[in-house]
Amino acid sequence: MPDPDTHPPAGPIEWRTSHTAVPYREALAVQQARNEAIHAGGERELIWLLEHPPVYTAGTSADAAEVLDPRFEVVETGRGGRHTYHGPGQRVGYVLLDLAKRGKDVRRFVHGLENWVIATLGDFGVEAWAVPDRIGIWTTDIDGTEAKIGAIGVRVRRWVTMHGFAVNLSPDLTHFTGIVPCGIAEYGVTSMDRLGITLAPGEWDEALQRRSGEFLAAISDHQPSWPD
């Protein structure tokens, strides 16, 4: 039976790629344990790329009224933000980095995540952007309206980050209708597939990793702006 995960050679950051869907609660437990180990100095930092079986997740600002149709389990996460859907066809990136080594700047970290995803989408011909006061990564949908193609949600414990981002490659977009995604009802959700771009998870992962040096450089600053 093939290894469901790929672990590239040792380096300062472990890159882990899961080739089978990982249950959300299982992934959350791994993150919590790894967060503590990174803080204690016993484990390397981690960037983990994976998919989940269908699940709705609730952030610290989530409103139960935004769950319109609880057809999937709703899991409380501890990350910032509101309700998000995860499922097959959506690539999730969990980013566990020690910001104590990178300037303790949480805003810079979040902006870095946004720009990393936006630049990678651009490599596939998708013009995307972040919008102040509106969480997520946005693009122009096939009908000309603005729609979300990616989600951002993070938590920082003892200056070690958790959670990260999710990008819609080819999910079942009807699954998003069970919630108000990120609490924003007036905008839709789109995907690479809906935009006419067929992209295998491995292609996305490779492009993301090629851009990782820019992301890591952008978040490395030794002037703290958001104390723990």
**E strands, 28-187, where?**
45-50, 55-58, 74-76, 83-86, 90-96, 128-131, 134-140, 146-157, 160-168
Q: Which amino acid is at 141?
A: D
How large is the average pLDDT for residues 119-139? 94
**Which pLDDT belongs to residue 3?**
55
Longest Cα pair distance anywhere in the chain, in angstroms?
50
Q: With pLDDT > 90 as the criterion, what percentage of the chain qualifies?
A: 71
How large is the average pLDDT for residues 127-145? 93
| pLDDT higher than threshold 80 for residue 220 | yes
In this structure, what are the phi and psi dihedrals at residue 95, rounded to the nearest 5 degrees?
-120, 110
How large is the average pLDDT for residues 35-64? 93
Instruction: Give SS3 for 189.
Output: strand
CATH 3.30.930.10 matches 5-218: yes
Alpha-carbon distance of 25 to 5, in angstroms, equals: 17
Contact 158, 116 (CB under 8 A): no
Contact 138, 147 (CB under 8 A): yes
pLDDT digits (tens, 9 = 90+) for 158-208: 999 999 999 999 999 999 988 776 555 667 899 999 999 999 999 999 999
Q: Which residues of 88-111 are buried (b: 16+ CB within 10 A; e: fewer)?
A: ebbbbbbbbbbbeebbbbbebbbe
Which residues carry out catalysis?
Answer: 182
**Which pLDDT belongs to residue 226?**
38
How large is the average pLDDT for residues 219-228? 53
How large is the average pLDDT for residues 36-48? 97
Report how far apart the first and last C-alpha atoms of the chain are (Å, whole number): 44
